[in-house]
């Protein structure tokens, strides 16, 4: 069995750090925590789990901090988490199995990362990250903000899942780093431009975000998934600016980079259903989304599985209800419930539809 070093960077994480370390302490062989300037009990909590706690002066560079943490690792492989990440019991067991069976030629292991969840705890937004890497490869982090681990060689994929249980927002902090970078005249890479636009969106600077997304898309460099994501994020800006036509245009621009994605089609359907009051066009787009295949597993900044399953059905139900076709509305509501039986909102929708249908029957019998 390989030995694994967990490497983390933290700052003011007393609310979540113990939760993270409790679920990981028994499945890794070394815990390394780098504190970038905490003023709460983060250091005390860290020291209750490991003696390998280091200080790193914060220089507005996440990659630099992570590379410092990686430099302290001594085991065969390095595993990384954020303080607000957790692993469920089944994933802890999956991780242990991976440690026992990983082929020696594997340099990096991709794991699913569930980021957003519905009210029932089901993931609605997931991506994949290189989580476990061979220490001898000396992979480095790049990027001051939204850093990424630059890997090469043999990459495997695990069914181990990491859950992101975010407790606080960091959008303002990240935007400040980008603004300082711009102020100092540091060049923005294509990736920087994309994430800078995301930070502007997250901080409600919608018009400024649109301008940055447009620059990014015109550069025609970078990962195709970032281009698709930029189109989606740009459409969100137009939504907040109450510009439905521009919203649809931005979403359709994503078709320039790949075949239509279900999440894009559902977003177009939503515009027609709730903003333009055109249920017929909404029905087309939601039906279309149900017939689309899932994107390949290794894609996936925007991997929203509910847009291929229950969501189109419940939205089709809403569209048919607008057309006063209650039978079809109930039909799609039942489909949504089969897929997501614990969803309280779908259950309530079904009850309302049944009540309306009963009244219709009573009226017709009078």
- Across 91-107, average pLDDT: 97
Higher local confidence (pLDDT), 120 or 211: 211
Per-residue pLDDT, 298: 46
CATH 3.40.50.2300 for domain 4-164, yes or no, is no
Q: Which candidate, 227, 207, 208, 232, places its Cα nearest to that of 217? A: 227
Residue 124 predicted with pLDDT over 90: no
Residue 242 corresponds to which tokens in the numbers above? 């109450």
The tens digit of pLDDT for each residue in 134-170 reads 999 999 999 999 899 999 999 999 999 999 998 776 7
Check: CB of residue 143 under 8 Å from CB of residue 153.
no
The tens digit of pLDDT for each residue in 303-347 reads 577 888 999 999 999 999 999 999 999 999 999 999 999 888 999
- Across 77-103, average pLDDT: 97
For domain 171-358, the CATH class is mainly alpha
Per-residue pLDDT, 296: 63
Cα–Cα–Cα angle for 166, 168, 346, nearest 5°?
50
- Across 118-132, average pLDDT: 83
As annotated, the residues of the chain forming the CATH 1.25.40.10 domain(s) are: 171-358
Residue 362 predicted with pLDDT over 80: no
The tens digit of pLDDT for each residue in 190-247 reads 999 999 999 999 999 999 999 999 999 999 888 888 999 999 999 999 999 999 999 9
Tell how many helices (H) and how many strands (E) occur in the chain: 14, 10
Check: CB of residue 84 under 8 Å from CB of residue 13.
yes
Residue 266 corresponds to which tokens in the numbers above? 């559902």
As annotated, the residues of the chain forming the CATH 3.90.550.10 domain(s) are: 4-164
Considering the chain, what is the average pLDDT of its residues? 93
Beta strand 108-117 pairing with 148-150: unpaired
């Amino acid at each position: 069995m390989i030995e694994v070093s967990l490497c983390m960077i933290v700052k003011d994480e007393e609310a979540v750090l113990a939760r993270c370390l409790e679920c990981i302490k028994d499945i890794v062989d070394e815990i390394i925590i780098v504190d970038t300037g905490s003023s709460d009990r983060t250091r005390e909590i860290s020291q209750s789990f490991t003696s390998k706690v280091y200080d790193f002066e914060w220089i507005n560079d996440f990659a630099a901090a992570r590379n410092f943490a990686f430099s302290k690792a001594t085991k065969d492989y390095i595993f990384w988490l954020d303080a607000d990440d957790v692993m469920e019991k089944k994933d802890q067991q999956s991780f242990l199995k991976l440690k026992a069976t990983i082929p020696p030629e594997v340099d990096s292991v991709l794991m699913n990362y569930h980021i957003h969840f519905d009210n029932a705890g089901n993931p609605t937004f997931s991506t994949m990250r290189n989580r476990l890497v061979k220490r001898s490869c000396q992979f480095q982090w790049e990027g001051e903000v939204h850093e990424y681990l630059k890997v090469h060689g043999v990459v495997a994929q695990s069914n181990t899942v990491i859950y992101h249980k975010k407790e606080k927002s960091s959008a303002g902090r990240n935007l400040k780093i980008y603004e300082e970078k711009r102020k100092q005249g540091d060049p923005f890479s294509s990736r920087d431009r994309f994430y800078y636009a995301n930070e502007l969106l997250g901080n409600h600077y919608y018009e400024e975000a649109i301008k940055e997304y447009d620059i990014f898309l015109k550069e025609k460099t970078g990962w195709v998934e970032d281009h698709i994501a930029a189109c989606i994020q740009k459409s969100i800006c137009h939504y907040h600016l109450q510009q439905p036509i521009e919203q649809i245009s931005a979403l359709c621009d994503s078709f320039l980079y790949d075949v239509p994605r279900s999440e894009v089609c559902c977003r177009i359907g939503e515009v027609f259903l709730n903003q333009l009051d055109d249920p017929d066009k909404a029905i087309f787009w939601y039906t279309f989304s149900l017939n689309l295949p899932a994107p390949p597993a290794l894609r996936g900044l925007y991997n929203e599985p509910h847009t291929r399953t229950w969501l189109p059905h419940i939205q089709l139900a809403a569209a048919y209800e607008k057309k006063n076709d209650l039978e079809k509305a109930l039909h799609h509501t039942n489909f949504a419930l089969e897929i997501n039986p614990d969803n309280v909102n779908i259950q309530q929708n079904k009850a309302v539809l049944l009540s309306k249908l009963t009244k219709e029957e009573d009226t017709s019998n009078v």
